[in-house]
Structure 1
């Protein structure tokens, strides 16, 4: 009798192990099936290309400018060879600065042409190896000495994002967003009524208050 009971228990344990092994096998098969059926790139993703030509630099940078003004903007910046050039002359109030292809991510800008001396001075100081704070201090001293001028109300449009992929049909850059800077030299929170930090992601606020570089920051919510 004892032998029969022992045999019965051993058989039950063996069946239990087989069931457990099947469960594990089923789980592994299920995981493999999930991996195989992972979402494939969409047609939109496949349409994206690297920004790797001067034509692409120009097309993507022009999206920083107001749509109605893009055809007449002056376009400048570093080309694919690393040379700072004028890609095309303009006839309106905007200058467009293309993305620097030698830097990570994407950042193009469009600014009112009277800001060009201020912007050019910043580029020159950066080329000399000056730090961000040194550039800030030097330009502040030059604005105070009236050697450099920042027009009140002049606007800078920035189109930027972490990727350098774009859609050749639309020139839209993947994950890039627009933000705006309205320069108000020496303005403060008190003189404008604006807070020194945004109340929400799309609310205006004043940055660098009380300095030559005081400006209103506006970061619209992305359309998507």
Structure 2
């Protein structure tokens, strides 16, 4: 029985360690670029993780795109890229997460800060690109992810169904729709149907 408990502990410890493995910067960058439009990849700024697990700049950018490498603590693979216009909103969210705030608290704080003018939201539509998939389909030696899925989020603060003509839920697979209408977080959701 004791040996069985030790074996289970080692298996769990090993899977936790594998999930928290910090990959080399070049692999993190390659994986992050999967979310970016091809013509923006070479100039995108990239955040990734250092050996202590802290989010740091892995590569400075020369265009208007910021990408974030896969979080080693996240279950599965997920990389994102977004317009530099969204950086104040995104970086504030990361700060609040580091302070231990819940998603509900983060939403409330950022809403108050946007409404007071302390936190600036984009003055025009700004896009977030998300590419995600299973660790079973990920090659950590190359940064390639097979069978990943895209999701696109176009932030358009305070937009409504009336101002955009978009529905508040998708009627068909892949159909764009408006989430959080009338708020600072209003955004168009687009989840393409993957073959």
Give TM-score, length-normalised by structure 1.
Answer: 0.72
Q: Tell me the SS of whatever aligns to 2:162.
A: helix
Write out per-residue CA displacement over residues 30-89 of structure 1, whole angstroms, 9 at most, x where no aligned residue.
Answer: xxxxxxxxxxxxxxxxxxxx9843322211111111101101111013235302111010
SS at match of 1:200: coil
Please give the secondary structure, in 1, of the residue aligned with 2:145: coil
Partner of 1:120: 91
1:187 paired residue number: 159
- Give the unaligned 5+ runs of structure 1: 1-49
- The count of corresponding residues between Structure 1 and Structure 2 is 174
CA RMSD, aligned part only? 2.0
Of 52, 59, 62, 1:81 maps to 52
**2:73 corresponds to which of 97, 102, 122:** 102
Pick aligned residue for 2:144 from 141, 147, 172: 172
Pick from 147, 170, 187: which aligns with 2:118?
147
Q: Secondary structure at the match of 1:134?
A: helix
Give the corresponding residue for 1:42. Answer: none
Which residue of the partner structure matches residue 162 of structure 1?
Answer: 134
Return 5+ residue gaps in structure 2 as ranges: 1-20
Q: Offset of 1:169 from its aligned partner? A: 8.8
CA 107–55 in structure 1, closer or farther in 2 if over 3 Å, else same: same
SS of 1:203's partner is coil
In the other structure, the counterpart of 2:10 is: none
* Equivalent-residue separation in structure 2 for 1:109 and 1:60 (angstroms): 10
Q: Is residue 22–residue 50 contact of structure 2 (8 Å, CA) maintained in 1? A: no
Shift of 1:102: 1.9
CA offset digits 1:129-167 (Å, max 9, x no partner): 111111011111111111111213011111112326424
Indicate conservation of the 8 Å contact 2:177/2:190, yes or no.
yes
> Where does residue 12 of structure 2 map in the other structure?
none
**In terms of mean alpha carbon deviation, does 167-176 or 207-216 score higher?**
167-176
Bigger-Rg structure (1/2):
1
- Quote the residue 2:101 is aligned against: 130
Change (3 A) 1:113 1:68: same
Q: CA 1:57 to 1:155, structure 2 compared with 1: closer, same or farther past 3 Å? A: same
Alpha-carbon distance in structure 2 between the residues aligned to 1:112 and 1:80: 27
